[in-house]
């Protein structure tokens, strides 16, 4: 029996093809999340009959992403990135169909179930950024990772603005208008899954493992990771621990503020014009769609810049820039809570800060642990990111009710400032040790 040696392949050619395929898949699947973010909280209030459930879709989506991140990482460890990513995207496709069904049936339970399945797509999209660095050279890791993150921009920005086109499609298919955007979501997710299933060969993770084994002259069986082993690997590396804190905090603050912004804008826009009777719910939906689109553009559009800075300026300075932007964002949105324009500016800055912190933090994390623990650590990171997002989404509605939108942003500023101080202190200590 003979096998083709992986040395016959050009790893960098495979890497370029992998980044292209991952980027194309992100672009297509981004439509699903964009639609969910823009109208999920509104559907939750409508179907549940209570504003207390406004953050429920974001909560179940991020919680599902957290709970499935490590299982998907284990699947990738055993079967390769292709199987792990396609599994998550197919589950998300089922979620988009369930969201449509929930509107037709008027079922809040189906809505929650659809959000949970869409969470698997979020977990897969997060895993895709790590797949981009499996074969990347050290000096280009930030660029490769950021390219895949950037690719989601078009789909994700388009998603919130598909409300009106979706209404037309929904009407043509005999669906309620609000269910229409999820038709686009389902089509995008199907195409993304098909693209990776057919095209992601050879698998980047399996090829990287084979190359490492051939270079070492020995073949190592993949280690079955767990939360405990992943956390132990992270605790053994101060830089990995800092990277984890950076991405988890950035994600928690971003989800908490972003998930309540549509509801805040709906109340703000309606209240500002109610006495003049010059607006209706459609005006609020337009403002919400534009704001969330610009926020998502901030999250993804400048990813190549953050990837370049991660490689050129360094991981820690870019993380610091990210959390500095998050701190500025929540201050602008909080202090300008009565002005839709300032809220939008704050959401743009929030997206930019999240992008910088996530790209630099993910790159630092991937290179700060041993290769055998890398996939497990990445799964643990995504699990904790999802958990932070779930906590942020679950508590943001309560904080909004108790302290208002301004208070919600003040709470976010405390966490962002704490992480920024930690990064700056660690960077200073690192410089001292390096100089010594």
DSSP codes, 101-146: HHHHHT-HHHHHHHHHHHHHHHHHHHHHHHHTTSS--GGGHHHHHH
Residues 6+ apart with CB under 8 A from 227: 70, 380, 383
What integer pLDDT is reported at residue 316 of this predicted model?
93
pLDDT score for 323: 95
Half-sphere exposure of 105 (CA within 13 A, CB side): 12
- Residue 49: count other Cβ atoms within 10 Å of its Cβ: 10
State how far the Cα of 29 lies from the Cα of 177, in Å rounded to an integer: 21
The closest alpha carbon to 92, from 201, 191, 227, 198, belongs to 191
Spacing of C-alpha 86 from chain mean position: 17
- The pLDDT assigned to 275 comes to 45
The pair of three-digit structure tokens given for residue 3, joined into one six-digit string: 């096998």
Q: For the chain, give me the number of helices (H) and strands (E)?
A: 16, 0
What fold, for 11-435? Growth Hormone; Chain: A; (1.20.1250)
**Assigned token pair, 319:** 């993380």
All residues at 6 or more sequence positions from 154 whose CB lies less than 8 Å from its CB, including other chains: 27, 30
Beta carbons within 10 angstroms of residue 71's beta carbon? 16
Predicted model pTM: 0.77
Q: Which two tokens stand for residue 152?
A: 């989601």
> Could you say which DSSP state residue 51 is in?
G
Q: What is the DSSP letter of 180?
A: T
C-beta of residue 299 within 8 angstroms of C-beta of residue 354:
yes
- Predicted confidence at residue 371, as pLDDT, reads 77
Q: What is the pLDDT along the chain (436 residues), one digit of tens a residue?
A: 334 454 467 888 999 999 999 999 988 887 756 666 667 777 888 888 887 787 788 778 878 888 899 899 989 988 999 999 999 999 999 999 999 999 899 999 999 999 999 999 989 988 998 899 898 888 889 999 999 888 877 666 666 667 677 778 878 888 887 787 888 889 889 999 999 999 999 999 999 888 888 876 665 555 555 677 888 889 999 899 999 999 999 999 998 998 888 888 888 876 654 444 444 456 677 788 788 878 888 888 889 999 999 999 999 999 999 999 999 999 999 998 888 899 999 999 999 999 999 999 999 998 898 877 888 898 999 889 888 887 887 788 888 888 888 889 998 899 889 989 988 887 777 654 434 3
Q: Which residues of 176-194 are buried (b: 16+ CB within 10 A; e: fewer)?
A: eebbbbbbbbbbbbbbbbe
Q: Which residue has the tokens 């981009």?
A: 132
Q: Which residues contact 74 (CB under 8 A, 6 or more apart)?
A: 224, 225, 376, 379
76/183 Cα distance (integer angstroms):
29
Domain ranges, ordered by start, for the chain: 11-435
Contact 51, 179 (CB under 8 A): no
In terms of Cα–Cα distance, which of 94, 113, 137 is closest to 44?
113
């Amino acid at each position: 029996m003979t096998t083709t040696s992986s040395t016959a392949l050009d790893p960098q050619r495979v890497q370029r093809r992998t980044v292209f395929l991952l980027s194309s898949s992100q672009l297509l699947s981004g439509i699903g999340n964009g639609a969910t973010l823009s109208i999920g909280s509104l559907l939750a209030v409508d179907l549940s009959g209570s504003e207390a459930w406004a953050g429920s879709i974001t909560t179940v989506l991020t919680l599902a992403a957290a709970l499935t991140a490590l299982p998907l990482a284990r699947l990738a460890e055993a079967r390769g990135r292709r199987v792990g990513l396609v599994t998550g995207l197919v589950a998300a496709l089922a979620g988009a169909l369930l969201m449509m069904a929930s509107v037709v049936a008027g079922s809040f339970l189906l809505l929650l179930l659809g959000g949970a399945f869409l969470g698997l797509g979020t977990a897969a999209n997060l895993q895709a950024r790590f797949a981009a660095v499996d074969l990347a050279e050290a000096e280009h890791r930030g660029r490769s990772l950021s390219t895949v993150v950037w690719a989601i921009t078009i789909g994700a920005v388009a998603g919130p603005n598909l409300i009106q086109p979706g209404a037309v499609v929904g009407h043509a298919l005999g669906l309620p208008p609000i269910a229409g955007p999820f038709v686009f979501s389902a089509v995008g997710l199907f195409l993304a899954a098909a693209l990776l299933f057919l095209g992601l060969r050879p698998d980047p993770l399996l090829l990287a493992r084979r190359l490492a084994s051939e270079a070492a002259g020995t073949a190592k069986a993949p280690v079955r990771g767990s939360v405990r082993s992943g956390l132990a690997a992270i605790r053994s590396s101060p830089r990995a621990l800092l990277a984890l804190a950076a991405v988890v905090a950035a994600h928690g603050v971003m989800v908490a503020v972003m998930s309540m912004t549509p509801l805040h804008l709906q109340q703000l826009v309606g209240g500002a014009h109610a006495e003049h009777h010059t607006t209706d719910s459609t005006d609020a939906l337009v403002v919400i769609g534009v704001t969330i689109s610009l926020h998502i553009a901030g999250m993804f559009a400048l990813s190549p810049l953050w990837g370049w800075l991660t490689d050129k300026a360094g991981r820690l300075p870019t993380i610091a820039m990210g959390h500095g932007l998050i701190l500025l964002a929540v201050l602008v949105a909080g202090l300008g809570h009565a002005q839709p324009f300032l809220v939008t500016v704050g959401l743009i800055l929030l997206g930019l800060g999240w992008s910088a912190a996530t790209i630099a933090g993910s790159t630092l994390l991937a290179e700060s642990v041993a290769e055998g623990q890398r996939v497990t650590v990445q799964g643990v990171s995504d699990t904790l990111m999802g958990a932070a997002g779930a906590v942020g989404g679950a508590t943001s509605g309560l904080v909004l009710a108790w302290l208002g939108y301004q208070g919600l942003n003040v709470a976010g500023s405390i966490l962002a400032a704490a992480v920024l101080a930690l990064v700056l202190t660690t960077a200073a200590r690192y410089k001292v040790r390096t100089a010594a």
